[in-house]
Amino acid sequence: MSLPARITDSHCHLDFPDFAEELPEVVTRAVDAGVHRMVTICTRLRQVDQVKSISERFDPVFWAAGTHPMSAAEEPLATVEDLVALAEHPKFVGIGETGLDYHYTAESADIQKESLRIHIEASRETQLPLIIHARDADADAMAILGEEYRKGAYPCVLHCFTASKEFALAAMEWGFYISMSGITAFPRSEELREIFRAVPRDRVLVETDSPYLAPPPHRGRRNEPAYTAHTAQRAAETFEMDYAEFAALTEANFERLFTKAVL
């Protein structure tokens, strides 16, 4: 029996309580589904040790860290030095997630913007990819990312992309990547799939954002890295590609951006 094509879950949250009781099983199911590599994201810097330890415990798991925009007003403001120091760890592969979220936390917009610029500088200094969360904040996110890019290039992925075509095309101009989550597999997400069709295929990644946003046939239940395969299968159909061909494409894209995440 042939093994499934290998893919990477470029964004998950394995430290969340949803996985506490069965983390080894979750990682095993992912590998069995062909998800041979995962990037688990630390969203509060005070939890760095917990997230780092998961990467050290499981060979397929790498990690990134930053202050999530929804937590920016609750957490101490990170420094560039804090973030750059984390990059010394061999399995630390990205800066973030950071960004802007005006859906739930618009009242903290100013501190979110300040935090975002700090993370951008750390990405620019380390040349590790910036991992961006942007929700209901397209105009400000585009303005800051573009302004900072003109000061000096930095690698970046817009994770769980659900924003406008204008934002996606601007990101392409800056050399950024955008990532397909389970949302892109929802039946009513055709408009979003059309945006992905409009960007170069060599800038596309896949992710779960687990434990959230499970794709069909698991929608409404806890998501996990193994389900990256379902999102990737629907994505392959979106691009009219064979699954193995699409998997190989996203693997190459991931490794071009996440240069430290080499098994």
**What is residue 77's predicted lDDT score, i.e. its pLDDT?**
96
Residue 41 pLDDT > 90, yes or no? yes
Kindly compute the dihedral angle of the four CA atoms of residues 115, 127, 30, 25, in this order, to the nearest 10 degrees.
Answer: -60
Closest CA to 233 of 218, 221, 215, 251: 215
- Paired tokens of 181: 């989550």
> Which pLDDT tens digit goes with each residue over 158-207?
999 999 999 999 999 999 999 999 999 999 999 999 999 999 999 999 99
Largest CA distance in the chain: 55
Distance CA 31, CA 188 (A): 29
pLDDT digits (tens, 9 = 90+) for 73-121: 999 999 999 999 999 999 999 999 999 999 999 999 999 999 999 999 9
What integer pLDDT is reported at residue 146 of this predicted model? 98
For residue 2, is pLDDT > 70? no
Average pLDDT over the chain reads 97
What confidence tier does 57 reach under pLDDT thresholds 50, 70, 90? very high
Length of the chain: 263
CATH of domain 7-257: 3.20.20.140
Mapping DSSP onto H, E and C, the string for 128-188 reads CCEEEEEECCHHHHHHHHHHHHHHCCCCEEECCCCCCHHHHHHHHHCCCEEEECHHHHCCC
> Residue 255 pLDDT more than 80?
yes
Mean local confidence (pLDDT), 233-239: 97
